[in-house]
Structure formats: C-alpha cells, structure tokens
C-alpha cells in the first residue's frame, strides 16, 4: 500500500479504475455482530476529504456564480476565462464577504466575464483565486497581488463538475469516478437532490435488509409492476462477496420464494397478505448473468461515497453522495444504460428515462418516497446506541474496515492513528466474539 494513494484507491490492477470489475478475489472478511460502533466512530461525519466528488451539473452554472456548501466548506462556482467551471472558497480574502453574495444578492459579482468580483469592495479574482484587480483600492493596489482565495481543483466530465476536496494533490479523476463513466457505450442520466440526513446513512441504506419492509405495498408501485413482485420476506444474513482496495460487493442471503415468515413472538405470519404477488422473482444467479457488469456480484459500497443498491441489471442506478454538512447530503443519482453508441437506442432511453424511469423507478418513486422518510433528520438518530447483526455485515465492514482503506487514512490520518484504531477494533471484536456464520450456499 503506498502512502501517496496514487495507485491504491481506484484501481486494483494498477492501470485503470475498475470499480471492482477485476477484483482481487473474494473477501476474507468474517462478519461478526457488533455493538458500540456508531456511524461516525471511524467514518468521517462530513465525508472523506481526499477525493473527487460530484459538485454541480455543468449546465447549472451560467453567468451568475453559484454558492454551495460541500463537506462543510462554503464554495462558490463560476466560469473562468476558458468557460470552465471553477471553484473557490466563498469568502473574500479581503474582509470576508461571500464572493457569491450569500444572503445579499451578490450584485455585480459577475460584472467581468471569466472573473468573480466581491460584492463589497469589488476585489476581483480569477479562476485560480488570485486577486487581479482591487477595484476600490485603485489600479495600483499593493494589496491585490497578496490576496488569494483558496482554489478547489475541478474537472468536468460528461456534464458533471467534480471537485477535489482534499488538502493533498488530486489523483486522476479515473481513480475515483467508476469506469462506467468513461465508457462511451454507456449513456448517463443524472438526477440531483438534497436529502436532509447524514450522507453515511444513505450510503448504508443502499444495501441493507429494509427492502421487504419499506419497498412493498404502496399503490404507486402498480406503475412499475413492482407491487406484484414476489418478494423475499427477510434476509438470512449478508455476504461480502468481493473486496477490493476501495470497494466491497454485497449480496443478501435470501431463500428463494420465501415470501412469508412465521414469528412466534407475535404468533403471526409476516407479511400478513401476499395473495396478489404473482410475478415471479428471477433466480438471482441468472439475473446476475444479465447484469450490467456481471463480474461484480451483488450491490456495491465504494469509497468515498458511491453505492449501487443491488444486482446491476441492464440499467444501473449508481449513487454518489456529496456531503453538505452533518445533516444534509447532495444526492447524485446516475442511471446508466449500455446503449452501444446506437443513436436510436440512446434516444429511446432518453425519452423512457425522462418520461417514466425518473418518476416511477428508483430516483423518485423508490428512493425519495420510501427510503428518505425513514432516515431523515427527525426520523432516525444516527448518534443512538446501536447493535448490529447478521444482515448488517456490510455496514459493519463499512464502518470498521473501509475507513482504513481510505485515502484520508493513507495520506492524512497518519500511521499511528490507523494502528491505534485497528488495535481497538480488534480488542472490541474479541470482546464481542459473536461470529455470524456464513450460510450454506443452498439457494
């Protein structure tokens, strides 16, 4: 493992970001139950910093600068003299006015195309944050050359402006952004929304056991036929099917066609009614063969904040979470489809996505209406004491192991911090010593 992270975080074969497509074997991780690991013991509450994140959609930055909070930092985006979207700290190095204007309207801050002008005394900055004219200090200002606003490196790729939030040198974008985004046979649709919850909650939610409770009987599921699907009633555990330098693949253990369970404590079967569920569930192994990237078994958690909920079918929902602050996250939902450069398929997908998929499939109908309400601020307290079990194995891994695979750990945290934390985890695991048996491969 190198300390500079240049070859460790995006690629397991050292040549190109793989997003796990060519992994280094199945996971050696033995899942155990766990208590006393909160959401943020090792996972940073405001997100890992030494990474690229999707910041804003390129089309949203016009002549007027746009302010966003990202990982707790106040950032302003505008277009430089090359028309490239750039990002600076949203605080004027002169006396601290928001370059974007903040709650004022930022009047005149876009007077000079390619530059940003502070709404207070008119000090004007270029795309790298250098003060190039201090309007009210005169053309011969001695102060101007000394003022520099922090610049956040940006790169625009397929309509998304990515921003580097780290204090160390940026890595090539390909190390952080999954390989599908660089495949020109893949069409990408994006949907961006702010969710009022900590970013790590929605990451964990992307592949946990909530499906049969949350995604069930809602009437609008009639529109995507999911209402009639035969759903497994519960999971019998979670397996980490593959582990790479910066990701894990996750598969639930379900018993096929087990649509109800009997719960003696309440002397009831649950779900109580299933008579309308006639639509056959596909054998997961067969489904995997048809999947988008069928060498990766199951869902995905990938550093810094990328998740893919389930089997990758021919259309894949990949979500990249950009933390705003401790209680809000900007959710980038990407729908990926392999259209093989065929313009007709591409057009059909574009219409289908925009007229139906975005409303009645994952981004809105499923995620916003069903996943969001149970985890939002006011519905879930991430700081409560928690005890995790067999269906939470991937989450235990995400909280306990992934942080030390991160570039932050390698570049910033320092060896002694990492070693001390690893020791304390091992001691805790020995104390808990509740091993979760992997189930026999019988489904």
On the CB side of 416, CA atoms within 13 Å amount to 0
Report d(CA 434, CA 340) in Å as an integer: 48
Binding mask 107-146 for Fe ion (x = CB under 5 A): ----------------------------------------
Q: How would you write 364-408 as a 3-class SS string?
A: HHHHHHHHHHHHCCCCCCCCCCCEECHHHHHHHHHHHCHHHHCHH
Instruction: Select the span of 25-33, 77-85, 103-111, 115-123 touching ligand FES (CB under 6 A).
Output: 115-123
Beta bridge partners of 261: 270
Identified binder of ligand FES from the candidate list 123, 191, 234, 332, rule CB under 6 A: 123
What Cα–Cα distance (Å) separates residue 328 from each residue in 45, 56, 279, 375?
11, 15, 37, 11
> Measured from the CB of residue 118, what is the shortest distance to ligand FES in angstroms?
3
Furthest CA-CA distance within the chain:
84
**Residue (of 180, 183, 160, 235) closest to 392 by Cα position:** 235
Query: Which among Fe ion, ligand FES, none contacts residue 371 (Cβ within 5 to 8 A by kind)?
Result: Fe ion
| Contact positions with Fe ion (CB under 5 A) in 358-397 | 371
Place of tokens 């929902």: 317
CA 93 centroid distance within chain: 32
- Closest approach of ligand FES to the CB of residue 82, in Å: 24
By CB under 5 A, the count of residues binding Fe ion is 1
> Is residue 400 near ligand FES by the rule CB under 6 A?
no
Residue from 56, 76, 97, 388 in contact with ligand FES (CB under 6 A): 97
Q: Is 147 in the site for ligand FES (CB under 6 A)?
A: no
Cis, bond preceding 304 (omega within 30 deg of 0): yes
Q: Which residue in 61, 118, 197, 291 binds ligand FES (CB under 6 A)? A: 118
State in angstroms the smallest separation of the CB of 116 from ligand FES.
Answer: 10
For ligand FES, the binding residues in 53-92 under the rule CB under 6 A are: 92
Q: Which of Fe ion, ligand FES, none interacts with 123 (beta carbon under 5 to 8 A by kind)?
A: ligand FES
Q: Residues interacting with Fe ion, by CB under 5 A?
A: 371
Q: Residues interacting with ligand FES, by CB under 6 A?
A: 92, 94-97, 118, 120-123
């Amino acid at each position: 493992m190198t300390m500079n992270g240049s070859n460790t975080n995006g690629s397991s074969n050292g040549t190109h970001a793989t997003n796990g497509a060519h992994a280094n074997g199945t996971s050696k991780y033995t899942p155990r139950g766990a208590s006393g690991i909160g959401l943020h013991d090792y996972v940073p509450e405001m997100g890992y910093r030494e990474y690229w994140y999707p910041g804003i959609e390129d089309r949203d930055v016009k002549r007027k600068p746009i302010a966003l909070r990202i990982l707790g930092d106040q950032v302003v985006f505008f277009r430089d003299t090359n028309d490239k979207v750039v990002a600076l700290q949203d605080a004027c190095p002169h006396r601290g006015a928001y370059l974007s204007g903040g709650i004022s309207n930022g009047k005149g801050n876009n007077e000079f195309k390619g530059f940003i002008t502070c709404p207070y005394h008119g000090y004007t900055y270029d795309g790298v944050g250098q003060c190039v004219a201090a309007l009210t200090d005169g053309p011969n200002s001695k102060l101007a050359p000394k003022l520099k606003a922090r610049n956040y490196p940006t790169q625009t790729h397929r309509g998304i402006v990515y921003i580097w939030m780290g204090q160390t040198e940026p890595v090539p974008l390909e190390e952080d952004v999954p390989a599908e985004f660089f495949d020109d046979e893949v069409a990408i649709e994006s949907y961006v929304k702010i969710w009022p919850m900590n970013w790590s909650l929605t990451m964990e939610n992307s592949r946990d056991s909530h499906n049969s409770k949350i995604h069930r009987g809602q009437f609008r599921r009639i529109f995507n036929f999911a209402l009639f699907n035969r759903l497994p009633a519960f999971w019998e555990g979670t397996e980490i099917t593959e582990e790479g330098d910066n990701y894990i693949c996750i598969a639930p253990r379900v018993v096929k066609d087990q649509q109800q369970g009997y719960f003696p404590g309440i002397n009831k079967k649950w779900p109580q009614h299933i008579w309308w569920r006639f639509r056959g569930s596909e054998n997961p192994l067969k489904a995997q063969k048809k999947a988008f990237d069928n060498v990766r078994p199951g869902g995905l958690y990938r550093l810094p904040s990328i998740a893919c909920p389930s089997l990758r079918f021919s259309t894949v929902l990949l979500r990249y979470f950009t933390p705003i602050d401790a209680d809000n996250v900007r959710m980038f939902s990407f729908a990926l489809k392999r259209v093989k450069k065929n313009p007709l398929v591409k057009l059909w997908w574009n219409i289908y996505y925009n007229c139906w998929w975005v409303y009645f499939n994952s981004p809105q109908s499923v995620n916003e209406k069903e996943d969001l309400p149970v985890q939002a601020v006011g519905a879930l307290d991430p700081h409560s004491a928690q005890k995790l079990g067999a269906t939470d194995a991937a989450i235990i891994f995400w909280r306990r192991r992934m942080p030390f695979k991160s570039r932050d750990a390698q570049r910033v945290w320092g060896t002694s911090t990492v070693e001390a934390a690893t020791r304390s985890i091992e001691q805790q695991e020995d104390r808990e010593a509740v091993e979760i048996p992997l189930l026999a491969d019988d489904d």
